[in-house]
Copies of this chain bind each other. A is one copy, B any other.
């Protein structure tokens, strides 16, 4: 149905000359589940990584309909490890009677540079709570307790929680279970790989919830939009983008993956997924803005500031520019009714 066409490109230029080039693949799916637009190969099988978190949070959203929105948001988060993030993780963790010792995410220095510097000053080591995925793991532990599954082994691909998450990915993505490839993520839970259009379809379902999962999808969408800071952190793309775009829930994934649920467009609710092929994270805001613009979102000055077109060096001198060539191919000329 869809043909790979002209791969999208983001070029970092220096002195007017291309210095480095990032290639991009993207898929856009509408509320009916149709792939309506794309750039590059919309069937590219890719790992959404943390872009999967809204789906990984569904078992807890389904099992605890009254969970406070901030706790659901932190379950969907790649958070920056500030005290505000950690307080919400701790609250969610306590809800299943779990402690930091139950977390299997590992440990890394907090993403927030000030918090990381503070730990160094205090000569304190980061804990698993600081891991950007600790909220997801706390949510997974609660989902286990709510479903009567053992907490032990909750990151194992064969654990009932992870099997359920895989089923949810296939169902929401409109693909067979066999089309969901299983790897291991940075935080040791299964990292699932799917075609880009399947991830876009999942985000279209988040933008336009329907069926049995609708209430849980609606809660996830609402929690992310209500708590953009918790979903990432100060100055990070999800956090800055969501308040600026009406009806948008957005989730970054490692290696420059992005998933966006856009509720209000001339074509109705849309789901978007894109992957910068080399994993170059710096291209992501540029691609996000280009795609949002093509889908009819008003690209304001405030939005443009998230993807500056000029590059500066350590001394503050302008040294280059960013050229974005990301135009979508449309499956049909006229917007769907």
Residues of A within 8 A of B (CB): 12, 14-17, 19-23, 45-47, 104-108, 117, 120-121, 123, 131, 181-188, 191, 193, 255-256, 277-280, 313-320
Contact = CB atoms under 8 A, between A and B. Distances in A.
A187 B313 contact: yes
A183 B314 contact: no
Closest 8 CB pairs of A and B: A15-B183, A106-B314, A20-B279, A106-B315, A278-B278, A14-B183, A184-B319, A186-B313
Contacts of A319: 183-186, 191
Given A14-B191, A19-B46, A108-B314, 19 more contacts: A12-B255, A12-B279, A14-B47, A14-B184, A14-B193, A15-B183, A15-B193, A17-B45, A17-B181, A19-B47, A19-B193, A106-B313, A106-B315, A107-B314, A121-B123, A131-B314, A184-B313, A191-B319, A280-B280
Stoichiometry, as copies per complex, reads 2
Given A19-B255, A279-B280, A105 B314 contact: yes
Contact of A317 (B21, B184, B316): B184
Nearest to A132: B314
